[in-house]
Structure 1
Amino acid sequence: MRQGPIPGAHGRVRPLTLLGDPHLHTPCTEVTDFGPELSPLVEDLFTTMYAAQGVGLAANQVGVPFRVFVFDCPDDDDVRHLGHVVNPRLVETDGVVIRGPEGCLSLPGLEAGTERYDHAVVEGVTTTGDPITIHGTGFFARCLQHECDHVEGTVYADRVKGWRHRRLMRQAARASWRR
């Protein structure tokens, strides 16, 4: 899967929405207008993701309630996966469930052991409406599941249970970005 930033275009860094912002817990809206505004949004998502040193970013993480996300993420074999998905649907998760460290640009500096499948398949379209199917394994599968959660109005902290969740919420409450 080799799609990525749109050649010749340059995005701008947008402010990130942080834990507590209602955008993060509201399911995003389907994109129905594939007009000229969509490509600059994708460029802005890439630019913002790179500036924050992330591997994935959903539109609601910059306050835009559309079902769009970008990624530039390695899998466990260190193969780089670069692209975007409009109207993503997580259509398959299988394999082994692994509890691994997971972070989020909307909870900067924090992470918690989060359970994810080690294989995921996402279907959607590109900014031009062309259908795409993305298969991910290992860390990239985690990334795909994480970003699909975002467009559904879920953050990884919602998946963390028990003492891990309590610890993460205490850390978030004390985080400098919460002040």
Structure 2
Amino acid sequence: MSVKTILKMGDPRLLRMAQPVTRFDTDDLHLLITDLLDTMRAADGAGLAAPQIGVDLQVVVFGTNAPNPRYPEAPIVPRTVLVNPVITPLPEVDGGLVREEEDWEGCLSVPGLRGKVPRFWRIRYTGFDPFGDPIDLTVEGFHARVVQHECDHLIGKLYPMRVRDFSQFGFTSVLFPELADSPDD
């Protein structure tokens, strides 16, 4: 087990564009994924991207097998390792419109803060697993939000850069006192 230090907002490494993975099923890639999963679990995160631990590769992990203390009301998201992801916003099945939804987000790289962030409600994400096998899923709601949040890290974006209304941004302990003991405080 190797829990890594999570970079914090202000570190310039979080603003870089991550590079695509070109070799799959390597010892280095598997070690990186183990480090990401161990670090995410230790921090009670819903996801983590390689740039958050200082690695400039397009690798994200996300998911929760049980209710997450940082997002106690959120549905369970299957544990996933996604390499070289591509996100495509999708219209609602019956309405034909691509819908955005604002909801609260936090980030292990922005500890102690939460903000309302617009995200596409329904997306398709594609990419690869660690062995180079394709992944192609259509998801919505919280699952879609988590994937978009983590993939933003691969293009040098942190969620505060997406906040539209800063009256909906602040300290978790003030906005959500019931979460005051969560690890991002």
- Deviation of the 1:55 alpha carbon: 0.5
- Deviation of the 1:162 alpha carbon: 4.3
Match for residue 64 of structure 1?
A: 55
**Aligned amino acid, residue 123 of structure 1:** T
| 1:42 aligns to 2:45 (yes or no) | no
Unaligned runs of 5+ in 2: 68-72, 93-98, 172-185
Equivalent of 2:142 in 139, 143, 152? 139
Match runs of 1:1-179 below 5 Å: 11-34=1-24, 35-73=26-64, 78-95=75-92, 96-164=99-167, 168=170
1:73 and 1:140 in contact (8 A); partners too? no
- Deviation of the 1:80 alpha carbon: 3.3
Distance 1:120 1:153, change over 3 A: same
Distance 1:121 1:109, change over 3 A: same
TM-score between the two structures when normalised by the length of structure 2:
0.78
Unaligned runs of 5+ in 1: 1-10, 172-179
1:31 and 1:87 in contact (8 A); partners too? yes
**Aligned amino acid, residue 18 of structure 2:** C
Quote the Cα distance in structure 2 between the aligned partners of 1:50 and 1:146. 17
Q: Percent identity of the aligned residues? A: 37
Structure 1 segments (4+ residues) deviating >6 Å: 74-77
CA RMSD of aligned residues (A): 2.3
